[in-house]
Chain A
Amino acid sequence: MKYVTEYRDAALVKGVIEEIRRTVTRPWTMMEICGGQTHAIVRHGLDQLLPAEIELVHGPGCPVCVTPLELIDKALAIASRPDVIFCSYGDMLRVPGSGRDLFSVKAQGGDVRVVYSPLDAVTLAQQNPDKQVVFFAIGFETTAPPNVMSVLQAQRLGLKNYSILVSHVRVPPAIHAILSSPENRVQGFLLAGHVCAVMGYWEYPGLAKKFNVPMVVTGFEPLDIANGILQTVQLLEANRIEVGNAYSRAVTLEGNQPAQNTIQKVFMECDRKWRGIGMIPMSGWCLRPEFEAFNAEKRFNVETIKAEESPLCIAGQILQGLKKPQQCSAFGTICNPEHPLGATMVSSEGACAAYYKYGRIEMKDSVSS
């Protein structure tokens, strides 16, 4: 498959790994910010090929994982209403709220549907004028353009029965929060290629300078990730604080300007709670006042719903790169993909799910021979 196969070429990947080996002279800790990259690293076993000096810590870049419990509970309340068709991206269905998930709401008669695009939800609203259609608009900058497009499309069509439940988050404030923590160990960042394809990477040089940490825009195939790591190591070893781009086939400095303008038209920055981490100032996007009519929280009056996390789950520390999944007492025992305690075990992009699925602990114990 074009643009995939060549980036999974064993010989090319090994060549880059060798180059990393030749370049590295001391231990470095770097974070891949995006859950899609965590998934790819573990799926292809890339981290096992790296020299021992490189430690990868997994970042908070899984939109499913960081969607706050409170918002899931709001989604469950809205989806349970008989007048609602609740639409969501697939892997949100399994995320547990306080005691149940969207699957259980569906089994109890709620009309919950998986859509691949929010525009499909708008079409559903057109086809079902007697129903309220709600789309669960989660995600980082990557899913923001289609999500805001759905609002603009619904407005253009004059639809009164379409709304979105917004839980959008942004990468730069999350990096700011991680680097501001006194416990921070991250010395370099692999920036999320898909996010930068939309936003460019003009937001990052300021952050890199402020915290003295180099960053490299990185793609998602093994060769892309290996190249991102190599560039990060080169910058670290040379003590150069810059933002590099190892994903230039998809990302430019300024990004997709029309997409950014469309986002700005519908969304504005706001404070946002991250599941397991807590409030990060101005880290989210929410609807501008002129689009308030499309706000599902207001329409269904669920703004007062509050919720508390399970005290056992350390998803927050995992999302900040402070702990690895196997350092959690619940990992693989009372917390597993069938009974997830926290969202990092739910989404296939979540670090705990990736570790569980690809058997990180057993690999060490049983395969080393």
Chain B
Amino acid sequence: MSDETVNMEGAVCAPPLPHNEQIVMGHGAGGRMTHKLIQNSFLPAFNNPALRAGDDAAVLEPKAGLQLSISTDAHVVWPLFFPGGDIGRLAVCGTVNDVAMLGATPFYLTAGFILEEGLSIETLRHVIESMQAAAQEANVQIVAGDTKVVQKGKADGLYITTAGVGFVRPGLKVGGAQAKPGDVVILSGSIGDHGIAVLGARGELGFQSSIQSDVAPLNHLIDAMLNASSNVHVLRDPTRGGLGTTLNEIASQSNIGIVLDEQTIPVHSDVNAACEMLGFDPLYIANEGKLIAMVAHEDADAVLKAMRQTRYGEEAVMIGEVTAEPHGRVLMKTAIGSQRVVDMLAGEMLPRIC
């Protein structure tokens, strides 16, 4: 018996598993596990005094008299990683770009994470690192955040909602309602890359492609444009719905017409090939690193020159002009010398049968 005596003193419960490998419900409970996740995964990347303070909100100190621009964006892309980017880079760039399109300089972001039980912590770290890299590139700080965990099957790995704050350049009036007849329409580069890259990553193209998403922060490009001209009237990124839908929004907001020249709109040949095969129109495919600008005719060359000297504006081109008529309509001169209306995308873009 004596050999088999069991020591009943001290701890008898098995210590809980640390769960350092994957997300479990406890990571969202607000207790020790949540704190550990923040300490080990979020803080090392998003290192700034406001976040480190550990309070419920960040306190920011804008210069007196500046106008704030604020925007929020939810990101649910699948797969989480795709050629040219991932959900983290997308979450930062999407909001940075939304703030910057009003002519504001973005400074601060917040990020809310909805994590699905079972998500690997390594995946989460990759996403966080990618967010930090994008934030650094855009020169913004992620100053507040929140994490919730939902049961397995209730989310696609992880969702991120970001909000951004920027300060508007004094005296500047940029917006969708500011387009004026005579303005030149400028596009910062080729269209359709992001949408086709994500479709390809989902395995939905039925063939291999080398198309990379264009996801990028455009605030430095916009800075260069606004430094080159004080007559930039509209800035907008043609994300969901693509170039066609975004131009229709502007035409209707500004109550003007837009005439495009089909042959000047840059589309990478592999994007074009994918669209031809699936029956898609590149005009309606999402972009995450492109912008449309409407600029006074006399400043168009200066703005184009400034754009082409920046990383994300090298392929900037003039694609059309703003006209007084027809109100709220977008027309396009087709490659064969005819003309047609470009409408908004009605619902989801569906591949055609044949």
Contact = CB atoms under 8 A, between A and B. Distances in A.
B137 interface: no
- Counting chain B CB atoms within 10 Å of each CB, the highest count among A89, A94, A142, A348 belongs to A348
B335 A10 contact: yes
Contacts of A8: 335-336
B353 A114 contact: no
Nearest to B332: A45
Interface residues of B, number: 29
A359 B352 contact: no
Interface stretch (B2-10, B95-103, B121-129, B343-351): B343-351
Given A46-B336, A116-B206, A337-B347, A362 B341 contact: yes
Main secondary structure of the interface of B (DSSP, over half): loop
B204 interface: yes
Contacts of B346: 336-338
A244 interface: no
Interface in A75-89: 89
Contact of A347 (B204, B334, B352): B352
Q: By DSSP majority rule, is chain A's interface helix, strand, loop, or mixed?
A: helix
A356 B343 CA distance: 8
B268 to A, nearest CB: 10
Contacts of A143: 353-354
Given A1-B273, A1-B276, A366-B325, A114 B350 contact: yes
Contacts of A114: 350-351
Interface string B318-333: 0000000110010100
A62 to B, nearest CB: 9
A117 B206 contact: yes
* Most chain A beta-carbon contacts within 10 A, residue among B326, B337, B338, B352: B338
Given A1-B273, A337-B347, A338-B346, A45 B353 contact: no
A262 to B, nearest CB: 17
B278 interface: yes
A138 interface: yes
A10 B326 contact: no
Given A143-B353, A348-B352, A362 B329 contact: yes
Given A222-B336, A358-B341, A91 B351 contact: yes
B335 A359 contact: no
Interface stretch (A36-44, A182-190, A249-257, A285-293): A36-44
Interface in A341-369: 347-349, 356-359, 362-363, 366-367, 369
Given A4-B276, A348-B279, A348-B352, A49 B337 contact: yes
B347 A94 contact: yes
Given A1-B273, A44-B334, 13 more contacts: A1-B269, A4-B272, A36-B352, A44-B335, A89-B353, A138-B353, A139-B353, A140-B354, A143-B354, A348-B352, A359-B341, A363-B331, A363-B341
13 contacts: A4-B272, A8-B336, A42-B340, A44-B338, A45-B334, A49-B336, A49-B337, A94-B348, A336-B346, A337-B346, A362-B329, A362-B341, A366-B329
